[in-house]
Amino acid sequence: MKKHLIIGACAFALGAGSMAYVSQQAQATAKPRAETYRMLELFGDVLELAEKQYVVEVDDKKLIEAALEGMLSSLDPHSGYLAPAGFDDMQETTRGEYGGLGIEITSEDGVVKIVSPMDGTPADRAGLKPGDYITAVNGQSVLGMPVSEAVKQMRGKPGEKVTLSIAREKSDPFDVTLVREVIKQRVVTSRMEGDYGYVRLSTFNEKATEETIAAIKDLKAKNPKMKGLVFDLRRNPGGLLDQAVGVADIFLDGGEVVSQRGRDARDIERYNARPGDLLEGLPVVVLVDNGSASAAEIVAGALQDRKRAEVVGLTSFGKGSVQTVIPLRGGQDGAVKLTTARYYTPSGKSIQRTGIEPDLEVAATREQAELIANKAFQFSEASLRNSLDAEEGKERRAAHTPAEAPPESFDEKKDFQLARAIDVLKNGSVMATPKLPKPQPKMAGVVPKTGTTPKK
């Protein structure tokens, strides 16, 4: 509610300011405003044509909702219109319990794309991966469908089967049948890895801070000689800003966590940690990959910038923009989800598109190392067609051979990134950790034109 009041106050202030300058700006603004009114009239004309001349009777409400979604989603991949049912779904998701398959999705050029499957859900158990495309649900194409509508197709009564058609890079299309469940997200899992604690946070819903604190306290109580902690944020698609600040606060002894900056350069809001480090200075390594997005990147960036933790894994997704959800008529007409600012780490770096680069880059598998070496196969915020730029013009790192990947002798059924994170804790820092030989992944082959012989 506080957020909505701030938004309303800002809108009122802008309105008052424009009234004060109306006489000076009348000629300058009249033409653009007249053009806006003309285009709105055009919209009404097109709607009327569809009502009267389309081959079958149309639903005005659906047409207008689709127009609203198209208008907002053209701004960037994360802005959009939420119809009342979609707004309710979003609220259920942030509360951490709902019926569905357990997939975080986005839209790219009208195609539904998986950002991350959620731990312990049907999607996770079926082996769905970040970057997979969902082309159909129960045989019905979702190409060109708004994300909110695609979500509606996948949610439903628990116990019912849902068949997803999946397209994956370097694989033939395939179908996978899942059974809907009541998704009770396991936000936090924890255990000991020898002398070191391990805590995994799968999403930033309303329980994230509370459950992370409980897990760390439990590890400390049962293992008073614990030497350090691995904090796993891989495949964490993000969530609530206040929970990102709360989780970072667990590790920091005061100081800035993140700032957000809007259109006006003076519009800066800073979020700070409170005094008190729950781990009392024990060393921390944060694990990230290209499925770590938004709130996960805020935490990783804050701990990295503040020298509280070192980051191991792969460059994160790069979703560094702020979405404000503005209910319409108290939610009766749904809500607008609008990108209103960018996130910045404590050192002033934008997360948007570029992501958080690890202190030690480690591919999870040898196959993944090959994918990173081939730009065409990378999935990140920067790969989305109309994603917001990074403001300062920085670009995400191009295709390259990662610093490390599992050697041939490593059993890839085990977690190589976790093993290297523990190595960093044992050696005291990334700098002091002996490096492995750089992998030599194969580059993607060039498909020859018809009638030609490939060069050898």
In this predicted model, what pLDDT tens digit does every residue of 52-94 receive, in sequence order? 999 999 999 999 999 999 999 999 989 999 888 777 777 766 6
Would the pLDDT of 435 be above 70? Answer: yes
DSSP classification of residue 263: S
Which of these, 1, 7, 72, lies nearest to 262 by C-alpha position? 7
Torsion of CA 280, 286, 291, 296, to 10 degrees: 30
Contacts of 270 (CB under 8 A, 6+ apart): 256, 258, 259
pLDDT given for residue 276 in this prediction: 95
Measured distance CA(345)–CA(287) in Å, rounded: 17
Which of these, 404, 387, 403, lies nearest to 395 by C-alpha position? 387
Would the pLDDT of 10 be above 90? Answer: no
Question: Phi and psi dihedrals of 82, rounded to 5?
Answer: -110, 115
Q: Is the dihedral of CA 216, 308, 233, 95 positive or negative?
A: positive
Biggest CA pair distance of the chain: 76
The dotted CATH code for 97-183 is 2.30.42.10
Question: What is the token pair recorded at 392?
Answer: 């300062």
Averaging pLDDT over each range in 116-125, 167-176, 366-375, 424-433, which range is the top one? 424-433
Domain ranges of the chain: 39-74, 97-183, 185-427
Quick check: 19 and 28 in contact, CB under 8 A?
no
Residue bearing the bigger pLDDT, 331 or 318: 318
List residues with catalytic annotation.
Answer: 294, 305, 319
240, burial (CB in 10 Å: exposed 0-12, middle 13-18, buried 19+): middle
In this predicted model, what pLDDT tens digit does every residue of 142-194 receive, in sequence order? 988 877 788 888 888 888 899 999 999 878 999 999 999 887 767 899 999 99
pLDDT given for residue 96 in this prediction: 55
377, burial (CB in 10 Å: exposed 0-12, middle 13-18, buried 19+): middle
Please compute the mean of the pLDDT values over residues 411-425 and round it to a whole number: 95
In this predicted model, what pLDDT tens digit does every residue of 356-401 receive, in sequence order? 999 999 999 998 898 888 875 678 898 888 889 876 668 888 889 9
State the helix-helix crossing angle for 84-95 and 147-154, rounded to 10 degrees.
Answer: 70
Measured distance CA(286)–CA(429) in Å, rounded: 12
Tell me which H or E stretch contains 28. Answer: helix 22-53
The dotted CATH code for 185-427 is 3.90.226.10
Which of these, 235, 233, 227, lies nearest to 248 by C-alpha position? 233
